[in-house]
């Protein structure tokens, strides 16, 4: 039997938290991680996750000697560590260099329709959608692709959409040295579509605005920009 006593939490604790996840409650603005999160390196994590996932498959009754299934535990482990949860590791955080705003551009910079792929931390189901981010330069500007990379880094971890929105906004403020930042996410949660209520097509919208974006005119300019039709 698998021991569910982890980091001081008992089986009872995990059972009692079922309702907590169904209510879609986030426990912290930072991603909840324990003190020993980086004791193991990536290869060690892959080995241990592979072993535990093989146990899960065995409990479900799957035949791990089958050609189609025998490599699944390691594939899942590598996917977790190297792909969909790679944003948990600070070493994967994108290096962002800003540049002097020599042309004195002082209006909105908007990067819209950034593809977003994340994972619901309550049911480990995928989240798919788009993020739109904007800032007003404060003496410095950043390469546009770096905005995409910041979004992707924080998305690549177990998440709650509200927290993800806030984390992206806080990182942009830090990198750009300005409070004039806006983040807007529109995403579909498979934990809503593939389980529970099973409502296909429903999406969740979250927004975070600070600095000049708290002004209705500036906020509306941003919203109009992200919803305007592409030329052609």
CATH of the domain at 81: 1.10.286.10
Pairing of strands 140-142, 109-120: unpaired
| Other beta carbons less than 10 A from residue 91's beta carbon | 7
Question: Each residue of 216-230: pLDDT tens digit?
Answer: 999 999 999 999 977
Q: What pLDDT score does 105 carry?
A: 92
Checking if the pLDDT of 9 tops 80, the result is no
215 shares a domain with 145: yes
Task: Classify 187 as helix, strand or coil.
Answer: strand
Of 61, 92, 123, which marks where a domain is finished? 92
Q: What pLDDT score does 77 carry?
A: 98
Closest CA to 133 of 96, 80, 104: 96
Checking if the pLDDT of 90 tops 90, the result is yes
Cα–Cα distances (Å) from 143 to 95, 97, 112, 133, in that order, read 11, 8, 14, 13
Checking if the pLDDT of 6 tops 50, the result is yes
In a domain, 2, yes or no: no
In a domain, 142, yes or no: yes
In a domain, 4, yes or no: no
Marked catalytic residue, from 123, 162, 170, 221: 123
Please state the φ and ψ torsions of residue 74, each to the nearest 5 degrees. Answer: -70, -35
In a domain, 107, yes or no: yes
Whether 122 sits among the annotated catalytic residues: the reply is yes
Marked catalytic residue, from 111, 132, 171, 191: 191
Paired residues of 208 in beta bridges: 183
Marked catalytic residue, from 111, 122, 132, 167: 122
In a domain, 111, yes or no: yes
Whether 123 sits among the annotated catalytic residues: the reply is yes
Mean pLDDT value across residues 127-140: 96
In a domain, 60, yes or no: yes
Q: What pLDDT score does 15 carry?
A: 54
In a domain, 5, yes or no: no
Checking if the pLDDT of 1 tops 70, the result is no
Q: What pLDDT score does 213 carry?
A: 98
Whether 120 sits among the annotated catalytic residues: the reply is yes
Alpha-carbon distance 89 to 39, whole Å? 12
Q: Could you tell me if 69 and 62 are in contact, meaning their C-beta atoms sit under 8 angstroms apart?
A: yes
Marked catalytic residue, from 111, 121, 171, 208: 121
Of 5-14, 141-150, 187-196, 200-209, the range with the lowest mean pLDDT is: 5-14
Whether 189 sits among the annotated catalytic residues: the reply is yes
158 shares a domain with 181: yes
79 shares a domain with 23: yes
214 shares a domain with 107: yes
Kindly indicate the confidence band of residue 86, based on its pLDDT and cuts at 50, 70 and 90. Answer: very high
60 shares a domain with 170: no
Closest CA to 116 of 188, 22, 46: 188
85 shares a domain with 30: yes
Q: What pLDDT score does 88 carry?
A: 97
Marked catalytic residue, from 120, 132, 159, 208: 120
23 shares a domain with 70: yes
In a domain, 232, yes or no: no
Structural domain boundaries enclosing 57: 11-92
**Residue 226, token pair as written in the block:** 């992200």
Kindly indicate the confidence band of residue 23, based on its pLDDT and cuts at 50, 70 and 90. Answer: low
Marked catalytic residue, from 111, 132, 159, 161: 161
103 shares a domain with 82: no
Q: What pLDDT score does 26 carry?
A: 54
Under 8 Å CB-to-CB from 81, ≥6 apart: which residues?
Answer: 42, 45, 46, 49
Q: Which residues of 103-141 are buried (b: 16+ CB within 10 A; e: fewer)?
A: eeeeebbbbbebebebbbbbbebbbebbbbbbbbbeeeb
Whether 121 sits among the annotated catalytic residues: the reply is yes
Q: Could you tell me if 179 and 211 are in contact, meaning their C-beta atoms sit under 8 angstroms apart?
A: yes
Question: Each residue of 148-176: pLDDT tens digit?
Answer: 999 999 999 999 999 999 999 999 999 99
How far, in whole angstroms, is CA 89 from its chain's centroid? 13
Q: What CATH number is attached to the domain comprising 223?
A: 3.30.1130.10
**Residue 215, token pair as written in the block:** 């002004």
Q: What pLDDT score does 2 carry?
A: 42
The secondary structure element, H or E, covering residue 131 is strand 126-135
Checking if the pLDDT of 18 tops 60, the result is no
107 shares a domain with 155: yes
Q: What pLDDT score does 230 carry?
A: 72
210 shares a domain with 149: yes
Q: Could you tell me if 176 and 197 are in contact, meaning their C-beta atoms sit under 8 angstroms apart?
A: no
67 shares a domain with 120: no
Give the dihedral of Cα atoms 178, 161, 80, 122; nearest 10 deg: 140
Of 92, 125, 141, which marks where a domain is finished? 92
Of 60, 92, 124, which marks where a domain is finished? 92
Instruction: Report the chain's mean pLDDT, rounded to a whole number.
Output: 89
222 shares a domain with 131: yes
Marked catalytic residue, from 167, 171, 189, 208: 189
Alpha-carbon distance 28 to 31, whole Å? 7
Total domains in the chain come to: 2
Helix locations, the chain, DSSP H: 11-16, 18-22, 42-59, 72-79, 144-155, 161-176, 190-193, 216-227
């Amino acid at each position: 039997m698998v021991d569910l006593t982890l980091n001081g939490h008992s089986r009872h604790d995990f059972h009692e938290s079922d309702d907590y996840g169904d209510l879609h409650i986030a426990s912290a603005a930072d991603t909840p991680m324990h003190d020993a999160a980086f004791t193991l390196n990536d290869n060690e994590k892959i080995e241990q996750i592979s072993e535990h996932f093989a146990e899960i498959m065995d409990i479900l009754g799957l035949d791990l000697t089958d050609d189609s299934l025998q490599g699944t535990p390691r594939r899942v482990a590598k996917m977790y560590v190297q792909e969909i949860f790679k944003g948990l590791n600070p070493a994967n955080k994108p290096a962002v260099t800003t540049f002097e705003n020599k042309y004195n551009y002082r209006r909105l910079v908007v990067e819209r329709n950034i593809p977003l792929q994340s994972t619901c931390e309550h049911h480990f189901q995928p989240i798919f959608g788009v993020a739109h981010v904007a800032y007003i330069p404060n003496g410095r500007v950043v390469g546009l692709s770096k905005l995409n990379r910041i979004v992707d880094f924080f998305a690549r971890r177990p998440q709650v959409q509200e927290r993800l929105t806030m984390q992206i906004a806080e990182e942009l403020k830090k990198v750009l040295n300005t409070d004039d930042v806006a983040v807007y996410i529109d995403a579909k949660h498979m934990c809503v579509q593939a389980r529970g209520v099973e409502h296909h097509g429903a999406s969740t919208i979250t927004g975070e605005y600070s600095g000049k974006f708290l002004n209705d005119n500036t906020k509306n300019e941003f919203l109009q920009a992200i919803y305007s039709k592409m030329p052609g």
